[in-house]
Amino acid sequence: MTRFDNLFQQGLAGFAAQGRMRACKQWHAAGPGLLQHPDTGAVLVDFSSNDYLGLRTNPLLSARGMAWAQAEGSGSGASRLVTGTPPQTMALEQRLASLKGMEAARIFSSGWQANASVVPALARLSAQVTGAPAIIVADRFIHASLYHGCAAAGVRPKRFRHNDLAHLDTLLGQESGDGLKIVLTESVFSMDGDRADIEQLRAITLRHNAFLCVDEAHATGILGTQGKGLVNGQADLVVATFSKALGGMGAFVAASEAVCRWLDNTASGFIYSTAPSPMVLGAVDAALDLLPGMADQRAHVAGLASAFRQRMACAGLDVGLSATQIVPVVVGAEHTALALARLVEQAGFLAVAIRPPTVPPGGCRLRVVFHAHHTEAQMEGLAAAIIEGVGACAAEMKG
């Protein structure tokens, strides 16, 4: 105990009163898409993780990871600018660039690190080359890591209404300064499961000579032709992760060779961070081998999500504008979302409650995520548990 613990306890009490307290629970894998409590033995069907294709437990990924580790070691040892880069990592970056229809790519240790590093690097280009501060215009629902990047860059972004591209067009048209105009968005939004109109974004940014940066974390591997995502070469820079549909850990940035060389020299997360483990990168290499042949799995996930949305709609529940494997069931208040998540867990399913600051106040929800290993029976069971749980929560409120 420290002399400041009373302050921290007061702060935590505030979170608890708001229904916003968070804590890590203990679970371990009990099979594809299953989690088991180490003490009670209770097994839940996982509808919360981002393992969209079920590759996290694919034996080819672990075998390739071990092979790369045997060749290069369990860790990289340092930043790539210190000890260099193995040839297979360079080849992997070329595969990643091709996946996104770009000239080049650079690997980062996480999606957070990539986003938080890229934005300040782009802002620095504006200051150094144009002599004017960057102008950042962002979808208001971008990930916290991109907002962190804006803060690190010392730039307060102008926010356009979520997926309102007419508003984006207006905001860009109001800017007449010499600074680099940077548009930040996502192709699939992680809490709402809706998509951005990439073609229209491209047209608007071309018209205003703006640099389009798209986070493809939740599209890569699971959406688009052969799992390539939704951007298809229509952005100036793409950030994507290995930790979701690709079943691993880490991230990459894909762009032109000039942009990637600029990041080599200005992206703090690349310069000052130890490079990812060869074990991690070997698993990514194996996942890329599998992606083209997983059309059936992608179609299965899409079908489950579509059927679930229909079940929720028939029950009068709000799933927003979801059009992907991510389906929010919006219930409003923090305590309602927490109560519903507990009831769903008691029925044998993990669908965690998402609360502020991850989502806006009043927008609390269960975030339901579909994976290739889910069955129709599991989807129907979850739908029934949610509908029954919503009814129980409503009855308790009336009582």
Catalytic site positions: 50, 143, 186, 190, 215, 218, 244
Backbone angles phi, psi at 354, to 5 degrees: -105, 125
Q: Which residues pair with 367 in a beta bridge?
A: 328
C-alpha closest to that of 304 among 286, 324, 287, 284: 324
Contact, 304 vs 376, CB < 8 A? yes
Q: Edge-to-edge strand order for the sheet containing 28-29?
A: 28-29, 34-36, 43-46, 349-350
Q: Which residues pair with 29 in a beta bridge?
A: 35
How many Å apart are CA 352 and CA 338, to the nearest integer? 8
Number of C-beta neighbours around residue 176 at 10 A: 6
Q: Which two three-digit tokens encode residue 8? A: 């921290």
Q: Please give the single-letter amino acid code of residue 200.
A: Q
C-alpha closest to that of 250 among 259, 264, 240: 240
- What's the chain's Rg over C-alpha atoms? 22
How many Å apart are CA 50 and CA 91, to the nearest integer? 26
Contact, 211 vs 237, CB < 8 A? yes
Contact, 217 vs 240, CB < 8 A? yes
Contact, 216 vs 229, CB < 8 A? yes
**Max Cα distance, the chain (Å):** 66
Task: Please state, in angstroms and as integers, the Cα–Cα distance from residue 314 to each residue in 102, 277, 375, following that order.
Answer: 43, 47, 20
Backbone angles phi, psi at 298, to 5 degrees: -65, -40
C-alpha closest to that of 95 among 82, 85, 104, 84: 104
